[in-house]
Amino acid sequence: MERLPAALLTAAGLAWVVACLWFPLTDTDIWWHLASAKLMWARKAFLRADPFSAVSLGAPWTDLHWGFQCLAYAAWKLGGPAALVAGKCLAVAGALGLALRPHLDRRTAAWLVPLAAFGIYQVRFFIDVRPLALTLLGLGIQYATVIRHLRGGLRRPWWILIPVQIALVNIQGLYPLGDVLVTCLIAGEWIDRKRGIGMEFRPATSFATGIAAPVMPLRGLVLTCAAMWAAGLASPFGWSGVRLPLALLERITPVAENIFSTEIAENLPLTDLLRRHPGQALPFLLLGLAVAYTFDKARARFGTGHALLFLAFAGLGCMAQRNLPLAFLAGLMAAGRNLQVYLGGNAPSSGSEGGGTGPLRRLRPFAGWGALAAVILLYGPKLRAAWEYELPGSMETPFRFPAPAADYLERHPLPGNIFNELRYGGYLEFRLYPGKIVFVDGRMILRSPEFYRDFLAAVDRPEGFPQYRARYGITHALLPISEDLRYLPLAAHLLGREGWTLLYCDGASALLADSAATVGVPIVPVPGAIRARFGANPRLQAVAAANADRFLRAASADRENSANLP
């Protein structure tokens, strides 16, 4: 019966994980993933060259995401966006459960579950429907496997570790993280055995059999780890797949000359968030301090492997904010190990330093419930309030995807090439390919720094856009005018000074075209477009109307300034 409160607390924590992660699609990359799977299915072949984007058409493409793409497309066909979100929730809940399972007991649950509940809320928007969710699940499986083996409960871990690693290789370019995780744990275990502590939290006997749990030799794990590193070749892309993680790491290296780190929001380092929005960075610092505190409580018995793992993943989180969920997962693994050592592990309670007896022991579960309740009371209303800015019955975040504009382009194909905001590209690919080739999409690994600098210069200095459009034969443009205001001046410039025609505007995006591309196509009135898209939610309709008004005022001012030029 002593295990029941811990199990109930864990179940409540997992329910909170789902509540935090159950939100409509927000990540725009999911659409080029789905478009890729749809094209692979049609061709019955892997994609080895870019088929979608005008600026990199035919360029070599190492699409290690193909496994995720096929799974996501299957989920989409079964249940649309809701199935994708459900799959994400299950994957992340599984990852957290596997990361904590080796360390959860009646002593540690009161500490670990509230910590996990607090952390998942903070990193939730970095865990959208993207390959990262499956990578987290794979890391959780590998971690639980290694720990169970080192505790004597699993004789042949390679039957799990190697297949999971091969799966990760074909899901995301972050697959070396599985190699790093296992390497850190092996190296740490070797060092700790030299220190004379080894797996300190390994039970002296098996609870199932009462037989002494053996100290497992490391040779088998070392050979398994070597095979895992070699598994990078186990993809359809061979050596290109091995080189891709290095290219991705280069793209997030936080140096001033790296435009992919300084100009892409999710690639910005944590120090940038701390400098610009210290209040938003504070929870991540608190999580780091909480994990560091558990190392202090473990004192000389802390696990070297967990320290190496946490430092490695925390370093990635500091390099780019998109990696914060990885740092969070590694932090939970380390905190679980440290607290299990500090609180006495699975050994019978003896009134030692961490175990406690009497009233303190009886109060611990209530403290866990109180801490979890505090997290839910603090952040639950914010989760509920966020749903007030969603469309009823929709699992696609409003203002993020240009769905009605894509409908317009589908009904009224425009001649010439389109210029689009890069995050719109994937959605247009999924909806309009092969009838329309987009200008650019979110696969920035295919773009050179020089191209991205020119692209941003064309956006930030609208007066130079005529030369840019002439280079690429651009006749129409689809630009956001709401969430990303960086594109608003260009949209206003095209409508105001360049005299382009506004074909469609719903307060989220604007579709504009020059006179040569508008022959015989209708113009959708702005108020009608706003009502059609956002009429089901008066809050959103008001926001969209304000966005459209701001855009039209900016275009009018641009036109007046143009008229006053000498």
Do residues 255 and 341 both lie within one domain? yes
Same domain assignment for residues 424 and 343: no
Domain match, 412 and 522 both: yes
Region 461-472: mean pLDDT is 95
Structural domains counted in the chain: 2
Residues 128, 29: Cα–Cα separation, whole Å? 10
The answer to whether residues 416 and 520 belong to one domain is yes
Residue 18's identity, in one-letter code, is V
Task: Give the helix, strand, coil percentages of the chain, each rounded to 5.
Answer: 65, 5, 30
Q: When comparing pLDDT for 165 and 299, which is higher?
A: 165
322 with 444, same domain?
no
Q: What is the pLDDT of residue 214?
A: 64
Residue 122 lies in a domain: yes
Q: Decide: helix, strand or coil at residue 34.
A: helix
| 4 part of a folded domain | no
Same domain, 559 and 438: yes
Model confidence pLDDT, tens digit, residues 244-277:
999 999 999 999 899 999 999 899 999 999 999 9
Indicate the residue among 323, 348, 373 that finishes a domain: 348
Please indicate, yes or no, whether residues 319 and 458 belong to a single structural domain of this protein: no
8 A C-beta contact, residue 493 and residue 481? no
For residue 261, the model assigns a pLDDT of 94
Q: Report the amino acid identity of residue 320.
A: A
The answer to whether residue 195 scores a pLDDT higher than 90 is: no
Please state, for a pLDDT cut of 70, what percent of the chain lies above it.
Answer: 91
- Does some domain include residue 1? no
Same domain, 511 and 433: yes
Asked if residue 24 belongs to a domain, the reply is no
The whole-chain average pLDDT of the chain stands at: 90
Residue 416 lies in a domain: yes
**Confidence band (pLDDT; 50, 70, 90) for 561?**
low
Is the pLDDT at 299 greater than 90, yes or no? no
SS (H, E, C) 487-551: HHHHHHHHHHCCCCEEEEECCCEEEEECHHHCCCCCCCCHHHHHHHHHCCCHHHHHHHHHHHHHH
Structure-block tokens of residue 272: 């940038």
Summarize pLDDT for 475-490 with one digit per residue, the tens.
999 999 998 899 999 9
Nearest to 136 by CA among 90, 101, 186, 104: 90
Which pLDDT does position 359 carry in this prediction? 52
Of 561 and 455, the structure prediction assigns the larger pLDDT to 455
Q: What is the pLDDT of residues 395-443, one digit of tens each?
A: 999 999 999 999 999 999 999 999 999 999 999 999 999 999 999 999 9
pLDDT tens, position by position, 522-538:
999 999 999 999 999 99
Output the pTM of the full model: 0.93
Give the per-residue pLDDT at 197. Answer: 77
Domain co-membership, 196 together with 322: yes
Same domain, 336 and 407: no
- 224 and 92 in a common domain: yes
Of the candidates 304, 327, 348, which is a domain's last residue? 348
pLDDT value of residue 106: 84
Query: Is residue 55 included in any domain, yes or no?
Result: no
pLDDT of residue 483: 81
263 inside domain: yes
Percent of the chain with pLDDT over 90: 82
Residue 434 and residue 548 share a domain: yes
pLDDT band for position 63 (cuts 50, 70, 90): very high
Query: 149 is in which domain, residue-wise?
Result: 64-348
Q: pLDDT confidence of 560, banded at 50, 70, 90?
A: low
- Summarised one tens digit per residue, pLDDT across range 422-432 is 999 999 999 99
501 belongs to a structural domain: yes
Which of 322, 348, 374 is where one domain is finished?
Answer: 348
